Amino acid sequence: MSKSRKKRTKPIPKKELNQKEQHLIELAKIAWDKTQRDFFFPPLDLPTFVFDYTHLEGFYIEPQNKWKISMNLANAPLFIDDQEYINYFHAISLHEVSHYQIIPYDGLINARLLKAAIKNVNENFAPIVVNVFADLIIDAKLYKKEPDLIAWELKTTYNHLYEKTKNKLSEFSKFLFRAYEKLLNIKIVNNDLFTSVESVAENVVNVIKKNFENETLWEDKVSKIAYYLRTLVNNTFTVVGTGVSQGEGNTRRKTPGRSRSTVEFPEDILEIMDNPLENKNLDKLKEDNDEELRQKAEEFAKETPYSNFGAPAGQAGILIDGNPLATWYRGLAKDIIEIKIFEEKPGGQLPIFPEVWHLGDPLEDLDIVQTILNSPVIIPNITTRKWVKNYGKGHLIEKQIPDLLLVLDSSGSMNWNYLAKSSRGVYHTALVASFATLHFAAKKGVKFSVINFSNRADVCDWTVDYQKAERTLLRYQGGGTHLPIKNIVKQTEKSERECLIFIITDFGIYNWSKSKKTMIDLAQKGHKIVGFFIGSSKIPQDKFKSLLDKVTFYGIRNAKDLIDLVITEVKKYYI
């Protein structure tokens, strides 16, 4: 392999095609059409057909080309008959489309599988395990429908590599072929070439075969397969730094996600499973789907400790916001608060019972139908009828909430450990409640402001951009506890309407006595002040005696209690 070939990192398609290459594209289009029919025309565009002799991948996603699939025909085996080319392209097209239609399908499933793999392998190698699992699941399913085609394609690929490498396959490629033999019960090679990988292939295939159709076991299976593959993966794939020379017969690819580490591995693997580090799911082929990806990231956050969140979410392509911690808290808080504020409106007049209509009563009160039903002869003051009406019961309509001012204590007593798997500290509880309240306000379209306080006040001014507010919430200070009453007043003055002020803290505030009068003044101006004191079940009446008839304070134990109290309190103000 030449040095120039080794250094290439992006596929470079050949621009001018000869007659044979143009003919192969026509055959590949025929194969693609067959694949589309087989999958009942999934939402995938026609691939960009290229001839890139610098790369061995048959399929890859090219973001510079509007996230379309590129199908590389350069390194296809040589066939004499056109039908064999069609069959080959059909087989690999079936396999690739299955990544988007079967497994991992979308970014959320992909993230869950990556998280499972990370339990037993380095996060840089998790995509390799997931791709191996997905490839084996896909080809097992395809084999049931097209046994002759899939078996032929595997044997063809092996023979092609056998000739190309002069029977010097990497151990990982041997494992893949042996796994296919055992999984599909076929024979690819009639010798003992795969003896060295017999044990790992058997273990992996046994995991896949057990309860094969049960997709709810995918995550557990990926974790087990990662356990069995960890030694082989570690011996095959290497994270390398800049300036390290590349080994003979090896290639390099970047890992997905934020780390973008460079991984070196044997080149022959590319011809069996394409880029083993690439994450293929339907979300990666969509444009303008930021909100969909954001929702999937938040759903993934609900079920994942933060220590296991960032890497798989980033690798799967669903982590699109700049701060993974903000996305994680947004997910934890999502949909746990839904406040509807109501005010009563009088109902319309309802008929109660009929009575005699007298001359002199308003003519519009006369009910002709009731009059005729009473007597066919209309006699004023005797047979004429009208309805006695009363106002119906009032009904509740949703009322717009005021601007929301979140005042959050991030002092040292509000301890925070978001990396823990169970107890994460008082500040964690406060953040979940704050994020829930913030995003409720964001959904309602009102403005919000955040004051994060300890020894100093970190202020996010009035905005409708929740990401700005999130960044302020997450800036934990860990100092003393000094309520920023001047900043609170300043923010209420900046607001265009009355404010609903949530103060989330503990009882460690130093300057309560100086703050009482100002809080009473704010309440008298129409602002609603609610204090939530985490870690205490009771509010000391003597300490807040002069305040409690003007503001409301709650003692709470956990985030769910806080949410329930927020709902109760806000409804009380506005019903």
136 CB-contact burial (10 Å; exposed 0-12 / middle 13-18 / buried 19+): buried
Residues 283, 353: Cα–Cα separation, whole Å: 63
> 71 has which bridge partners?
49, 59
The confidence score (pLDDT) of residue 276 equals 94
SS3 content of the chain, % helix, strand, coil (to 5): 45, 15, 35
Report which of 258, 341, 307 is spatially closest to residue 572, judged by C-alpha positions.
341
The confidence score (pLDDT) of residue 205 equals 97
The confidence score (pLDDT) of residue 121 equals 96
Please say whether the beta carbons of 221 and 207 come within 8 A: yes
Pairing of strands 395-398, 342-345: antiparallel
The confidence score (pLDDT) of residue 412 equals 87
The confidence score (pLDDT) of residue 237 equals 96
Per-residue confidence band for 399, with pLDDT thresholds at 50, 70 and 90 = low
Q: Locate tokens 């460690």: which residue?
A: 508
CATH says 403-574 is which class? alpha beta
pLDDT tens for each residue of 101-147: 999 999 999 999 999 999 999 999 999 999 999 999 999 999 999 99
pLDDT above 90: residue 552:
no
Tell me which DSSP letter residue 550 carries. Answer: T
Helix ranges restricted to H, 364-474: 368-374, 426-444, 466-473
Q: Locate tokens 């084996």: which residue?
A: 136
Helix axes 426-444, 559-574, angle to 10 degrees: 40
Residues 81, 77: Cα–Cα separation, whole Å: 12
Q: For the whole model, what pTM was predicted?
A: 0.80
Per-residue confidence band for 15, with pLDDT thresholds at 50, 70 and 90 = low
pLDDT tens for each residue of 177-232: 999 999 999 999 888 889 999 999 999 999 999 999 999 999 999 999 999 999 99
The confidence score (pLDDT) of residue 162 equals 87
- Mean pLDDT value of segment 28-45: 92
pLDDT tens for each residue of 451-501: 999 989 999 999 999 999 999 999 999 888 888 999 999 999 999 888 999
**Domain range summary for the chain, segments of one domain joined by +:** 3-285, 348-392, 403-574
Residues 223, 559: Cα–Cα separation, whole Å: 32
Please say whether the beta carbons of 88 and 153 come within 8 A: yes
pLDDT above 60: residue 25:
yes
The confidence score (pLDDT) of residue 575 equals 42
What letters, b where the CB count within 10 A reaches 16 and e where it falls short, cover 360-375? eeeeeebbeebbeebe
Residues in the chain: 575
Which run of H or of E encompasses 52? none
Please say whether the beta carbons of 383 and 359 come within 8 A: no
> 448 has which bridge partners?
404, 463
pLDDT tens for each residue of 350-385: 555 577 777 778 877 777 767 677 677 777 777 777
Residues 171, 194: Cα–Cα separation, whole Å: 8
Tell me what the pLDDT averaged over the chain comes to.
Answer: 85
Please say whether the beta carbons of 149 and 119 come within 8 A: no
Helix ranges restricted to H, 122-188: 126-145, 147-165, 171-184
- Mean pLDDT value of segment 408-421: 84
What letters, b where the CB count within 10 A reaches 16 and e where it falls short, cover 499-517? bbbbbbbbeebeeeeebbe
